[in-house]
Amino acid sequence: MPDNSALKTARLPLRLVSCPTEPAALSVVTTTTFPPELIEAVAERVAEMLADSLPREDAAASPYLTVPEAAQYIRAGSRQRIDDLLSQGRLTRIKDGRRTLIAREELGRYLAGEKTGRFAPGARTSRDASARRRHAA
């Protein structure tokens, strides 16, 4: 006869029986035993559902993010935070037609506390470009 003590079983409460006239009846709990195969199947399905709900970072992801994507990336409540960082020069805006893009790598540096945008070491500003044009003429 096989040893059943190694089998995993779970005794879970199914229903809480309550009686409005007798508060002591609230402690009555019905339990049942589930086979280990069912518990494992439920656990696998929950893991699949959680994996499907998480954002995926694939290797082919674009190195640039739109403003709403950048706000989501830094978990800002809205795109206003990204707009503020762009206006302050803490992030560099890259224009592609009407779209405004932000480098994913620069957002990572910003989150790490490094200086980014026009405050980054060696960053060029529009003033630098106009000064170079004046000296070249």
* 115 and 84 belong to one structural domain: yes
H or E, element range at 71: helix 67-73
β partners of residue 103: 64
Q: Who wins on pLDDT, 135 or 68? A: 68
Cα separation, 86 vs 83, whole angstroms: 5
Tokens standing for 98? 């009407």
* 68 and 117 belong to one structural domain: yes
**pLDDT band at 103, cuts 50/70/90?**
very high
Residue-range definition of the domain harbouring residue 109:
64-121
* 13 and 43 belong to one structural domain: yes
Q: Is this structure's pTM higher than 0.85? A: no
* 21 and 46 belong to one structural domain: yes
pLDDT in tens, 117-134: 888 887 766 555 555 666
